[in-house]
């Protein structure tokens, strides 16, 4: 019943949420109760969550977790946890993904992707193999290209406008497939 | 469900402006009223702006230009522009005109969605246009919500949103909740409030099944290999995935052809079997050769009868008079055969054209190598394997390096044209006209060239210094092409003479009456040789490419594709020629169509075997060698281009053979199914993802175009030729005794005319319209005209986008004109009115800010229209109209 309640708000199956709960429970068996009907106030720290196989190799793992945590510190309650997998599932719409992708790339959470954010993004994308000059050059170019309103940084409108030109975006921002679910069907 | 739009009007400020809108008829008047509205508002919202301005001017004056919560409120009155003469689509676009802001804080999100809900409701209830003019002006209200923190607390906003949500239908409401970027806890609070006011929502949940995962099981059953595809995508990224998706598309195409032929021809023939020749014993070699036991089976053309199936007369000898009347619904098999093949081709054609256009639409944006997109939209979140992640990083790194170097040297593209005609944009824009003429900022974002082109250009520039080198390179290229074409023609000649020779050998064998095994094995030699050539030549071409030293990996891939394609197509054309002239096909007394079908079957089987061998040796053994002998961690790469070309080749064979062997699509389906699992297993165990950068959506467009253009069109031409002007066999198949296959349709029309005078019009239509070349000519002219028109529309939109981009650039330059305002001045100007304060600070005037926002949105709209050109002409007109 509880899972059903949650699945109303999410792009996930009820069974997927049950399975997600299993994964959540697995990470800290003595903290997370199996019975969630009373909606206990439990949060898992970021260190546990970024060690999940889905996130482990992702260069943006910390940002992903932070974007979905209610307190902004990176610890996720089960609700946040489900939120994360719902938005990064394949059924979530483009707009929702764009919003969270923007949050992920917005490192300093000032609601703009500024130069510092861009530099961090680039470093993570290339494993810091670009030189500092190259990075600045790319940053300038990116801002020049995508900044429509001329404030020297990218707001969400800029970001969304840019994403609308990238046909692959929707298929790329998928973190997780519920494997057993898909297998059954 | 549809409530009157009264709710939109219950806001305090709403009533004020109701009467003031003059509902103007021309743009000019419209903008004056627009202007008034702004002035009027500015007095209402001083408090809000003050706060905002203080915090803002402390950072940077330029920041004021952002269309954030504040600017959004200003550009909002754009909705007042709605004109009764606009189409409803335009009105909808105008209603969404102000730039959006998301992700500020919880309250902002809630209030934004509140507005969006209001918009949705208005749209769904569809008030008459006159009313809409008034109702669609939520600007004041929205401003209130977003910038006045004292009045609208979080709780209040939530309440408002709930109120708005309540007025929606339950399904819309649930969907709205689903799409909100709020945390689950917040959504639950909202829902609790909702259900508190409306009773439990639960019983409605099934309404929105299509939006929710709960509605998906059916779809998931239909989609085969869902999980397998995800797994591949997860480990190798979308480039390798595109191969498997292509395979799936082919499977779907074959399924449709197969289904049509099965239902209308094969099953009926199986139910009414003709007097059968005693079947030859099954030996097992038939699976390879398709001859022997299979010759007289449903697999081939020769087995099908030319009779009307449920006609009782067919069983009696042809000379005798039939005593019984014809059945009420005679099933004429030749006709069914002809039409099924025709329909299956038509269906395939439609599906192909559809997928080509869709894939074009998808890749239209990606073809411009925007650096920003490279940075933000290339990371494949699916990839979770450490090695693949590393590879992806390296890929992105090289791509960025190349692009950045390229764009650093690349001269700025000239601005397209100076915008002269923006007068209708409003009073502000009229003033800017002069400055527009003077200033031109670079529209760097509009045209960054393709990655490969950049590289080529860059290299060619560095080369141009030494002419000798350039010349040498050209000579090498030319030589390589001559060599490649020479190789191809050599292959073709070899195949030609070899097949002639093998035919002779076979005839001799037959004359000597040697063993059946031997006879059949000889049949396999030609397909074997052709497949061998097909397998070996790509490697030779690769050697050539190594020698050529292509500038960019992109060109290299394309050159390889073109060469392989030429080889395959020329060999196929030769084979088709041989089949149709019956020069090397079985002896005259036999059914030549069956022979062609068998030949095609053999080619397909051989192709499959060679693909398996390639997988075995090229991937498995090679990996073992690499691992055991060379002790490297590297694995063989999965060559997407070559593999896709092999698929295209196999599919061409299927299409060629559909008349001669109606069950060939089934064989192809089986082949594809096996191929999928074999390739997947091999990929998982042996391969690594390709190291070259690979633009998945662009390449899949190329491949589907290749499938459509040389492959499908060639097969269609071949079949039409067969049907129209080749005489079918005298003594077998559904069309025996006819001059051409096409005649069967014609004679049927005559019979129809004779038997039933009521439908003479049908015969008339057939004779005068279908057989008339004039009409065909006109139809094709009309088609070309439509295509031309569409191209022009797209071009026009591109121009509009270009103009809008310039305007945006210009407006923003205006904004940067006097960036002198510091934080100290900001405190002084606190007590001035908004307009004056902005002027003091040397920032955008309100109109300008609003203009910028609107420009950006109209550009987005036009780009939208460009992306999906056939769907919404209204959007494009709107954008043009505003210019």
| Closest B-chain CA to A16 | B213
Whether A185 is covered by a domain: the verdict is: no
Where are the alpha helices (H) located in B167-274, listed in sequence order? 170-179, 184-198, 217-222, 226-261, 267-271
SS3 labels along A68-129: HCCCCCCCEEHHHHHHHHHHCCCCCCHHHHHHHHHHHHCCCCCCCECHHHHHHHHHHHHCCC
Residue in A129, A138, A155 nearest the CB of B66: A155
User: Could you tell me the pTM of the whole model?
Assistant: 0.62
Q: Would you call B366 and A168 a contact, using CB atoms and an 8 Å cutoff?
A: yes
**pLDDT, tens only, B153-180:** 677 777 777 777 777 777 777 777 777 7
Print the domain residue range for A123.
Answer: 94-173
Residue B252 has pLDDT above 50, yes or no: yes
Whether A21 is covered by a domain: the verdict is: yes
Q: Would you call B216 and A91 a contact, using CB atoms and an 8 Å cutoff?
A: yes
Contacts of A96 in chain B (CB under 8 A): 179, 181
User: How many CB atoms lie under 10 A from the CB of residue B257?
Assistant: 26
Identify from B377, B380, B405 which residue to disrupt to test chain A contact, counting A C-beta atoms within 10 A and taking the largest count.
Answer: B377
Residue in B181, B217, B863 nearest the CB of A96: B181
Q: Would you call A138 and B99 a contact, using CB atoms and an 8 Å cutoff?
A: no
Cα(B34)–Cα(B139) distance, integer angstroms: 12
Whether A39 is covered by a domain: the verdict is: yes
- Residue B350 CB-density burial (10 A; 0-12 exposed, 13-18 middle, 19+ buried): exposed
Q: Are residues A62 and A138 in the same domain?
A: no
Q: Smallest CA–CA separation between A29 and chain B, in Å?
A: 23
The answer to whether the CB of B874 falls within 8 A of the CB of B90 is: yes
Give every CB contact of residue B403 below 8 A, 6+ residues apart in sequence: B369, B371, B374, B448, B451, B454
Q: Are residues A146 and A99 in the same domain?
A: yes
Whether A135 is covered by a domain: the verdict is: yes
Cα(B57)–Cα(B607) distance, integer angstroms: 71
User: How many CB atoms lie under 10 A from the CB of residue B871?
Assistant: 11
Q: Would you call A151 and B62 a contact, using CB atoms and an 8 Å cutoff?
A: yes
CB of B103 within 8 Å of a chain A CB? The answer is yes
| Helix (H), strand (E) at residue A76 | strand A76-77
**pLDDT, tens only, B286-312:** 788 877 778 888 888 888 887 776 655
Contacts of B364 in chain A (CB under 8 A): 167
**pLDDT, tens only, A69-113:** 877 777 888 888 888 888 888 778 888 888 888 888 888 888 888
Residue B223 phi/psi, 5-degree rounding, is -80, 110
Whether A180 is covered by a domain: the verdict is: no
CB of B412 within 8 Å of a chain A CB? The answer is no
**pLDDT, tens only, B206-217:** 333 333 343 444
Q: What crossing angle do the helices spanning A78-87 and A94-105 adopt, rounded to 10°?
A: 110
| Closest B-chain CA to A94 | B179
CB of B192 within 8 Å of a chain A CB? The answer is no
Question: Could you say which of A37, A70, A88 is where a domain stops?
Answer: A88
Identify from B213, B367, B387 which residue to disrupt to test chain A contact, counting A C-beta atoms within 10 A and taking the largest count.
Answer: B213
Residue B853 has pLDDT above 70, yes or no: no
Cα(A94)–Cα(A48) distance, integer angstroms: 29
Whether A57 is covered by a domain: the verdict is: yes
Label residue B13 by pLDDT band (50, 70, 90). Answer: very low
Label residue B332 by pLDDT band (50, 70, 90). Answer: confident
Q: Are residues A57 and A79 in the same domain?
A: yes
Q: Would you call B407 and A164 a contact, using CB atoms and an 8 Å cutoff?
A: no
Residue in B103, B178, B363 nearest the CB of A102: B103
| Helix (H), strand (E) at residue B117 | helix B106-125
Label residue B14 by pLDDT band (50, 70, 90). Answer: very low
Q: Would you call A168 and B68 a contact, using CB atoms and an 8 Å cutoff?
A: no
The pair of structure tokens assigned to B115 is: 């507005």
Q: 3-state DSSP call for residue B446?
A: coil
Residue A51's CATH number: 1.10.238.10
The pair of structure tokens assigned to B774 is: 């004039």
Per DSSP, B768 falls in state I
The answer to whether the CB of B794 falls within 8 A of the CB of B866 is: yes
Residue B875 has pLDDT above 70, yes or no: no
Q: Would you call B103 and A111 a contact, using CB atoms and an 8 Å cutoff?
A: yes
Q: Would you call B213 and A56 a contact, using CB atoms and an 8 Å cutoff?
A: no
Task: Output the pLDDT for position B206.
Answer: 38
The pair of structure tokens assigned to B866 is: 């460009």
Question: Which of A161, A144, A162 shows the shortest CA–CA distance to A153?
Answer: A144
Q: Are residues A82 and A21 in the same domain?
A: yes
Residue B519 has pLDDT above 60, yes or no: yes
Whether A68 is covered by a domain: the verdict is: yes
Task: Output the pLDDT for position B5.
Answer: 37
Question: Could you say which of A31, A66, A88 is where a domain stops?
Answer: A88
Distances (CA, A) of B540 to B33, B463, B544, B559, B608: 73, 28, 6, 13, 21
Q: Are residues A125 and A141 in the same domain?
A: yes
Label residue B117 by pLDDT band (50, 70, 90). Answer: low
| Helix (H), strand (E) at residue B111 | helix B106-125
The answer to whether the CB of B131 falls within 8 A of the CB of B2 is: no
Whether A181 is covered by a domain: the verdict is: no
Residue A149 phi/psi, 5-degree rounding, is -100, 5
Q: Are residues A69 and A121 in the same domain?
A: no
Range with top average pLDDT, B112-121, B388-397, B501-510: B501-510
Q: Would you call A57 and B385 a contact, using CB atoms and an 8 Å cutoff?
A: yes
Q: Would you call A16 and B213 a contact, using CB atoms and an 8 Å cutoff?
A: yes
Give every CB contact of residue B427 below 8 A, 6+ residues apart in sequence: B31, B32, B35, B847
Residue B125 has pLDDT above 60, yes or no: no
Q: Are residues A67 and A102 in the same domain?
A: no
Label residue A2 by pLDDT band (50, 70, 90). Answer: low
Residue in B66, B103, B362 nearest the CB of A99: B103
Residue B446 has pLDDT above 60, yes or no: no
Label residue B392 by pLDDT band (50, 70, 90). Answer: confident
CB of B222 within 8 Å of a chain A CB? The answer is no
The pair of structure tokens assigned to B183 is: 């945390």
**pLDDT, tens only, A34-75:** 777 777 778 888 888 888 888 888 888 888 888 888 777 778
Lowest-confidence pick of A59-63, B222-226, B674-678: B222-226
Task: Output the pLDDT for position B588.
Answer: 58
The pair of structure tokens assigned to B872 is: 């919404």
Q: Sign (positive/negative) of CA torsion B862, B863, B866, B871?
A: negative
Residue in this structure with the two tokens 């409803």, named with its chain if needed:
B88
| Closest A-chain CA to B60 | A151
Question: Which of B271, B44, B34, B297 shows the shortest CA–CA distance to B151?
Answer: B44
**pLDDT, tens only, A128-184:** 777 888 888 888 888 887 777 777 888 888 888 788 777 677 777 777 665 444 433
Q: Which of residues 28-87 of B touch A (CB under 8 A)?
A: 60, 62-63, 65-68
CB of B404 within 8 Å of a chain A CB? The answer is yes
**Looking at the 3D structure of chain A, how many domains does it have?**
2
Task: Output the pLDDT for position B312.
Answer: 53
Cα(B734)–Cα(B743) distance, integer angstroms: 12
Task: Output the pLDDT for position B240.
Answer: 82
Across chain B, mean pLDDT equals 68
Q: Would you call B179 and A95 a contact, using CB atoms and an 8 Å cutoff?
A: yes
Of all residues in chain B, the percent with pLDDT exceeding 70 is 57
Q: Are residues A51 and A78 in the same domain?
A: yes
| Closest B-chain CA to A113 | B376
Task: Output the pLDDT for position B871.
Answer: 34
Q: Would you call A159 and B373 a contact, using CB atoms and an 8 Å cutoff?
A: no
Where in B345-494 does DSSP place strands (E)?
Answer: none
Q: Are residues A103 and A146 in the same domain?
A: yes
Q: Are residues A68 and A134 in the same domain?
A: no
Q: Bigger pLDDT: B310 or B473? A: B473
Question: Could you say which of A34, A69, A88 is where a domain stops?
Answer: A88
Q: What is the CA radius of gyration of chain A?
A: 18
Residue B48 has pLDDT above 50, yes or no: no
Q: Are residues A103 and A149 in the same domain?
A: yes
Cα(B478)–Cα(A161) distance, integer angstroms: 44
Contacts of B363 in chain A (CB under 8 A): 167
Distances (CA, A) of B26 to B22, B30, B139, B878: 11, 6, 22, 15
- Residue B789 CB-density burial (10 A; 0-12 exposed, 13-18 middle, 19+ buried): exposed
Q: Bigger pLDDT: B255 or B464? A: B255
Q: Are residues A78 and A100 in the same domain?
A: no
């Amino acid at each position: 019943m509880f899972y059903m309640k949650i699945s109303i708000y999410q792009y996930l199956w009820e069974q997927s949420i049950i399975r997600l709960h299993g994964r959540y429970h697995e990470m800290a068996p003595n903290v997370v109760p199996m019975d969630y009907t009373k909606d206990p106030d439990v949060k898992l720290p970021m260190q546990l969550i970024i060690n999940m196989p889905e996130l482990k190799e992702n260069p943006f793992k910390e940002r992903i977790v932070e974007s979905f945590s209610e307190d902004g510190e990176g610890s996720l309650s089960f609700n946040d946890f489900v939120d994360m997998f719902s938005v990064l599932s394949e059924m979530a719409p483009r707009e929702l993904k764009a919003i969270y992708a923007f949050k992920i790339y917005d490192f300093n959470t000032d609601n703009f992707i500024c130069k510092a954010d861009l530099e961090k993004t680039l470093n993570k994308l290339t494993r810091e193999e670009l030189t500092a000059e190259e990075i600045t050059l790319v940053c300038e170019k990116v801002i020049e290209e995508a900044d429509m309103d001329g404030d020297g940084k990218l707001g969400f409108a800029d970001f969304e406008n840019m994403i609308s030109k990238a046909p692959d975006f929707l298929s790329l921002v998928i973190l997780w497939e519920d494997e057993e679910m898909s297998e059954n069907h | 469900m549809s409530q009157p739009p009264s709710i939109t009007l219950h806001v305090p400020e709403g009533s004020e402006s109701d009467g003031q809108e003059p509902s103007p008829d021309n743009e000019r008047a419209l903008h004056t009223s627009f202007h008034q509205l702004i002035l009027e508002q500015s007095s209402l919202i001083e408090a809000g702006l003050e706060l905002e301005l203080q915090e803002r001017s402390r950072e940077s004056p330029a920041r004021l230009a952002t269309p954030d919560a504040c600017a959004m409120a200003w550009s909002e009155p754009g909705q007042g522009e709605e004109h009764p003469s606009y189409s409803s689509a335009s009105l909808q676009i105008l209603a969404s005109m102000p730039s959006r802001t998301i992700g500020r804080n919880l309250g902002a999100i809630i209030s934004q969605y509140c507005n969006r809900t209001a918009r949705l409701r208005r749209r769904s209830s569809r008030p008459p246009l006159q009313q809409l003019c008034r109702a669609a002006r939520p600007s004041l209200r929205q401003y209130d919500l977003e910038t006045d923190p004292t009045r609208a607390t979080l709780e209040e906003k939530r309440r408002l949103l709930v109120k708005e949500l309540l007025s929606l239908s339950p399904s819309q409401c649930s969907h709205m909740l689903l799409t909100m970027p709020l945390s689950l806890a917040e959504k639950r609070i909202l829902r609790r409030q909702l259900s508190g006011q409306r009773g439990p929502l639960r019983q409605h949940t099934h309404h929105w099944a299509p939006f929710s995962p709960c509605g998906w099981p059916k779809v998931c059953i239909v989609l085969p290999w869902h999980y397998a595809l995800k797994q591949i995508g997860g480990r190798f990224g979308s480039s390798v995935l595109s191969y498997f998706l292509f395979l799936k598309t082919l499977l779907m195409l074959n399924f449709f052809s197969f289904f049509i032929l099965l239902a209308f021809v094969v099953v009926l023939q199986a139910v009414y079997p003709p007097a059968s020749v005693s079947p030859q014993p099954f030996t097992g070699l038939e699976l390879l050769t398709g001859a022997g036991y299979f010759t007289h089976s449903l697999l081939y053309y020769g087995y099908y009868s030319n009779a009307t199936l449920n006609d009782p007369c067919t069983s009696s000898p042809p000379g005798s008079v039939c005593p019984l009347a014809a059945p009420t619904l005679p099933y004429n098999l030749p006709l069914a055969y002809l039409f099924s093949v025709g329909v299956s081709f038509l269906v395939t054609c439609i599906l192909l054209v559809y997928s080509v256009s869709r894939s074009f639409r998808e890749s239209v944006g990606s073809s411009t190598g925007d650096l920003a997109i490279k940075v933000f939209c290339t990371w494949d979140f699916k990839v979770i394997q450490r090695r693949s992640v590393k590879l992806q990083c390296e890929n992105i790194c090289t791509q960025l390096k190349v692009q950045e170097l390229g764009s650093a040297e690349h001269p700025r593209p000239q601005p397209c044209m100076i915008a002269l005609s923006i007068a209708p944009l409003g009073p502000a824009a009229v003033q800017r006209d002069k400055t527009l003429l003077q200033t031109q900022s670079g529209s760097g974002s509009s045209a960054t060239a393709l990655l490969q082109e950049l590289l080529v250009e860059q290299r060619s520039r560095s080369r141009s210094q030494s002419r000798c080198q350039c010349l040498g390179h050209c000579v090498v290229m030319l030589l390589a092409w001559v060599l490649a074409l020479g190789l191809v023609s050599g292959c073709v000649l070899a195949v030609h003479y070899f097949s002639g020779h093998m035919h002779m050998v076979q005839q001799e064998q037959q004359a000597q009456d040697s063993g059946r095994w031997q006879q059949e094995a000889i049949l396999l030699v030609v397909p074997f040789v052709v497949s061998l050539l097909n397998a070996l030549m790509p490697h030779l071409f690769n050697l050539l490419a190594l020698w050529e030293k292509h500038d960019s990996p992109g060109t290299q891939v394309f050159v390889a594709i073109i060469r392989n394609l030429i080889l395959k197509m020329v060999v196929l054309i030769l084979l088709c020629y041989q089949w149709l002239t019956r020069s090397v096909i079985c002896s005259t007394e036999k059914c030549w169509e069956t022979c062609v079908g068998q030949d095609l079957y053999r080619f397909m089987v051989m192709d499959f075997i060679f693909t398996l061998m390639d997988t075995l040796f090229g991937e498995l053994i090679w990996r073992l060698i690499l691992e055991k002998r060379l002790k490297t961690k590297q694995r063989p790469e999965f060559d997407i281009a070559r593999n896709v070309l092999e698929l295209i080749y196999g599919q061409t064979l299927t299409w060629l053979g559909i008349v001669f062997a109606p069950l060939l699509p089934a064989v192809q389906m089986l082949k594809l199914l096996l191929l999928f699992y074999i390739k997947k297993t091999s990929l998982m165990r042996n391969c690594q993802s390709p190291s070259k950068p690979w633009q998945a959506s662009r390449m899949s467009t190329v491949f589907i175009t290749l499938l459509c253009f040389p492959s499908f069109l060639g097969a269609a031409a071949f079949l039409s030729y067969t049907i129209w002007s080749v005489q079918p066999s005298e003594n077998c198949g559904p069309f025996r005794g006819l001059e051409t296959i096409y005649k069967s349709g014609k004679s049927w029309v005559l019979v129809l005319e004779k038997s039933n005078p009521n439908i003479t019009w049908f015969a008339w239509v057939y004779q005068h319209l279908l057989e008339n070349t004039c009409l065909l000519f006109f139809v094709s002219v009309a088609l070309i005209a439509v295509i031309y028109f569409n191209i022009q529309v797209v071009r026009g939109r591109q121009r509009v986008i270009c103009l809008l981009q310039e305007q945006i650039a210009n407006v923003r330059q205006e904004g940067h004109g006097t960036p002198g305002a510091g934080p100290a001045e900001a405190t002084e100007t606190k007590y001035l009115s908004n307009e004056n304060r902005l002027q003091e600070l040397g920032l955008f005037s309100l109109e300008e800010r609003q203009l910028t926002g609107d420009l950006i949105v109209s550009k987005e709209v036009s780009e939208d229209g460009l992306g999906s050109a056939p769907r919404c002409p209204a959007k494009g007109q709107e954008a043009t109209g505003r210019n």
